[in-house]
Amino acid sequence: KEIDRMELNFLGLAFNPYASRNKEVYQIPERGAEDYLVSLLQFVKEVAAEKKVSRPLFWKIAEAYLTFLAGDLYAAEKVFEEIEEQPIEDPALKEQLEVIRLVMKLSKLEKPDDETESFIAGLIRKDSLYRKYPSMPDFVKHRMAALYRQNDRPGKAFLCINSFDELRANPKMELVEDLLKMAQKKEHNAFERMLLKNLTANDLLDMKASLHMARGELEAAYETYRRMPAANWDDYDLYNVFKETTKDCIRCYQRNDTTTAELLNKGELLEKLIDLDYKTRANIGNVAMHHYQLGLAFYNMSYFGYAWEVMDYTRSGATWNFLNKGKDGEYCFYPYSNCIRENTDLSRALYHFQKARLLAGVETELGAKAAFQAARCEQKMFFASEAWQPPPCCNNMPLLTEKEIPHYQRLKEQYSSTKFYQQIISECKYFAAYVRRQ
């Protein structure tokens, strides 16, 4: 019982990814555990040395294991060598010795090379002790994750403990790039195949491109996508990100309008976005409309838009309750153990809508539309800022002022004679309430 208690406190402590949480929440290791381990080990040594007990071998094995838990691998090995010089007839003791030997071997692993990975794969597939002891799988995956972290393989470390779906909820560039190294190898060993499962290099290229898009790095996203055979581009869905919307509803009906484009895969969409961006910089064609289309695209591909799946893989409606608590688009709440990333940054969309409005001029239909869309961005950006403090109950959306949504005032003052103004004041109750309050 006391050995089990020390095992709970110290086994795998050096590489347990939940060590800090265990200490904070469960007080593991418990206070005074180190001193108790030292005194318990000393007691066991004395009993084993006296050789007056009925099961001396049991006490010797206990000495070896406690020495190992205390962190002295060399001394533990010496004790085990003494034990192995003696015949062991008791099946239970023999099995305990084998288990402790296996745990020590895992603890002594130094490099996550092919030899180590092949050993671990064989252990998982064939070793009866691995299957018999419920805590063994966690010990093995935590040990391998620690080895990968120590050797700058963060992606492999992540998949040792987490599923690919958890990576999809909060993808990070360093993890994706590391996994790409593994996925693009010509041959994989058995353990790498276990980690990858059905994950392909194309899946990771799509994810890397999406991360670049979320950062506004369109050229980098396109270059990443070009590493995938064009024949596979359609495998990752088709999108129309240029629809003009006035409601914040990710699955609502969106009316057709002149900005609607054909469905595009992500590679084709990137080509379109890069072309529009180039035309705005080179002053080619209807630059105001180009900016407006880019604004629509970036808004619709955000957390708040119907095309959020272009740049993300997981979306939670619960994130709305934490909008003002995110850090760089990362939100931490149950059940997302590794947090969830949402594309709540609307600064690029706002920039393009502002440019579209200024270039279109006052009392123009396009200028009115751009002003309204810019106001939508300003509203969400305020709710996603630290300045926003949600009400204590009821999830009511407050009516913001010109300070938070300056483009509502511009829409009212500079575009009230447009058809769009009359249309939007009847469609958008929030804007109508703003106008009535002025």
Rounded CA gap, 164 and 159, in Å? 7
> Do strands 330-331 and 238-239 pair parallel, antiparallel, or not at all (unpaired)?
unpaired
Residue 192 vs residues 16, 126, 186, 206: alpha-carbon distances, Å? 21, 17, 12, 20
SS3 182: helix
* Number of alpha helices (DSSP H) and beta strands (DSSP E) in the chain: 22, 4
Please provide residue 341's backbone torsions phi and psi, each rounded to the nearest 5 degrees.
-100, 130
> Shortest CA distance to 64 belongs to which of 89, 85, 90?
85
SS3 331: strand
As given in the structure block, the two tokens for residue 217 are 């790095």
* Contact call for residues 152 and 224 (beta carbons, < 8 A): no
> Shortest CA distance to 398 belongs to which of 387, 407, 409?
387
SS3 195: helix
* Contact call for residues 271 and 339 (beta carbons, < 8 A): no
Rounded CA gap, 20 and 11, in Å? 14
Q: Which residues contact 219 (CB under 8 A, 6 or more apart)?
A: 274
Rounded CA gap, 417 and 424, in Å? 12
Residue 255 vs residues 244, 246, 431: alpha-carbon distances, Å? 7, 9, 19
Q: Which residues contact 268 (CB under 8 A, 6 or more apart)?
A: 233
> Shortest CA distance to 371 belongs to which of 304, 428, 433?
428
Q: pLDDT tens track of the chain, all 438 residues?
A: 777 887 777 677 677 776 666 676 667 777 887 887 888 888 878 887 877 777 878 888 888 888 888 888 888 888 888 888 788 888 888 888 888 889 989 999 999 999 999 999 999 999 999 999 988 999 999 999 999 999 999 999 999 999 999 999 999 999 999 999 999 999 999 999 999 999 999 999 999 999 999 999 999 999 999 999 999 999 999 999 999 988 888 776 455 554 445 799 999 999 999 999 999 999 999 999 999 999 999 999 999 999 999 999 999 999 988 898 888 899 999 899 899 999 999 999 999 999 999 999 999 999 999 999 999 999 999 999 988 887 777 666 777 888 999 999 999 999 999 999 999 999 999 999 999 987
* Contact call for residues 380 and 304 (beta carbons, < 8 A): yes
- pTM for this structure? 0.87
> Shortest CA distance to 328 belongs to which of 101, 170, 167?
170
SS3 322: helix
Rounded CA gap, 409 and 253, in Å? 28
CA dihedral 339, 343, 347, 350 (to 10 degrees): -150
Q: Which residues contact 162 (CB under 8 A, 6 or more apart)?
A: 337, 338
* Contact call for residues 208 and 236 (beta carbons, < 8 A): no
Q: What is the DSSP letter of 113?
A: S
SS3 258: coil
* Contact call for residues 310 and 239 (beta carbons, < 8 A): yes
Residue 388, classified by CB atoms within 10 Å of its CB into exposed (0-12), middle (13-18) or buried (19+), is middle
* Total number of residues shown for the chain: 438
